[in-house]
Amino acid sequence: MSALLEVRGLTRRFGGLTAVDAVDLDLGEHEFVSIIGPNGAGKTTLFNLVTGLDDPDAGRVRLAGHDVTGFSPEKLAALGVARTFQHGRVFANLSVLDNILVGAHVRFKSVRPAWPAPLSLIEPLAELALALVRPGAVKAEEARMREEALAILARFGDRLLPRKDNPAYSLSYANRRRVEIGRALALGPRLLMLDEPTAGMNQTETAEMQALIGDLKKSGLTILLIEHKLDMVMQLSDRVIVMDEGHVIANGKPAEVRNDPKVIEAYLGHHRADRPPVEEAAE
């Protein structure tokens, strides 16, 4: 299995606190890997470093063999890296459908002119001209993107498609989380990074989300997941990485990680043989 994502020695310090401490991580093409650990273990900080929202103090990030350390989120999105956030982020005043279409923007080829000129100057002018004139190629691409966005909404059953014209602010919390994932899928990602996608969801909503993520895994999408609901992690993951206090303390198959003494100690504070396994302890 070829490595799509390679992280080596990634480190981030905040004053005297080392939130991510020399982390190594490999993610193969089409692999599903989950990152778990107690609150404050450094999981989301690691995501922020990989996706360009924060800069590491040390270490490198490679995507498909290319060094992308310090790349902006926009540049990484153009390379096929999509992510969601722990607390969810949507464009509240845009419709559900338009939120999905925002995710497809980096794939919109008609706004990328072929003539040589600084993109920072040309692209905004090209977008303005295309918005005013809207030639046939633009209309055709818009129609195709709209059809793809509707197909993404259909993945969520009747949760989003009947609400496609509703503003995102009118949605329930769970549906806003679904919109955010839909927007990430609209990018056509090569790597999908999900930060606690079921946070705040009830049992029914969690089951629906697990089924959706399971379908994405079956489609061959490469997924890196942060999740506290360990039943879901153990059922979906090819491998599980456990972090504690900024370090990786375990990395292996779900069955191997589940009863690792170091993992149990991280979750319980100390290890005792008569303690329940990790998934029970975290309930």
Q: Does residue 225 form part of some domain?
A: yes
Q: What angle do CA 106, 89, 52 make, to 5 degrees?
A: 55
SS3 253: coil
CATH number, domain containing residue 25: 3.40.50.300
DSSP 43-59: HHHHHHHHTTSS--SEE
Q: Let me know whether 77 and 151 are in one domain.
A: no
Lay out the sheet containing 17-28: strands in order across. Answer: 17-28, 3-14, 58-63, 66-67
- For residues 46 and 58, give the distance between their C-alpha atoms in angstroms, rounded to a whole number: 12
22: phi > 0 → left, psi -120 to 50 → alpha, else beta; which? left
Q: Let me know whether 86 and 136 are in one domain.
A: no
How many domains are contained in the chain? 2
Maximum CA extent, the chain: 71
Q: Does residue 253 form part of some domain?
A: yes
End-of-domain residue from the set 115, 141, 170: 170
Q: Let me know whether 218 and 273 are in one domain.
A: yes
Q: Does residue 176 form part of some domain?
A: no
Q: Let me know whether 108 and 163 are in one domain.
A: yes
pLDDT value at residue 45:
97
Strand 239-244 vs strand 222-226: parallel, antiparallel, or unpaired?
Answer: unpaired
Nearest to 152 by CA among 107, 112, 195: 107
Helix axis angle, 96-103 to 136-154, nearest 10°: 110
- For residues 283 and 276, give the distance between their C-alpha atoms in angstroms, rounded to a whole number: 11
> Residues 204, 209, 210, 214: what is their CA dihedral angle, to the nearest 10 degrees?
140
Q: Let me know whether 103 and 86 are in one domain.
A: no
Q: Does residue 47 form part of some domain?
A: yes
Q: Let me know whether 77 and 107 are in one domain.
A: no
Q: Which domain holds residue 105?
A: 94-170
- For residues 41 and 38, give the distance between their C-alpha atoms in angstroms, rounded to a whole number: 6
End-of-domain residue from the set 112, 140, 170: 170
Q: Does residue 178 form part of some domain?
A: no
End-of-domain residue from the set 117, 140, 170: 170
Here the tokens at position 218 are: 């079956």
Here the tokens at position 257 are: 């990680």
pLDDT one digit per residue (tens) for the chain, 283 residues:
679 999 999 999 999 999 999 999 999 999 999 999 999 999 999 999 999 999 999 999 999 999 999 999 999 999 999 999 988 889 999 999 999 999 998 877 654 444 444 445 455 665 555 556 566 777 788 889 999 999 999 999 999 999 999 999 999 999 999 999 999 999 999 999 999 999 999 999 999 999 999 999 999 999 999 999 999 999 999 999 999 999 999 999 999 998 899 998 888 764 444 444 555 444 4
SS3 21: strand
Q: Does residue 240 form part of some domain?
A: yes
61: phi > 0 → left, psi -120 to 50 → alpha, else beta; which? beta
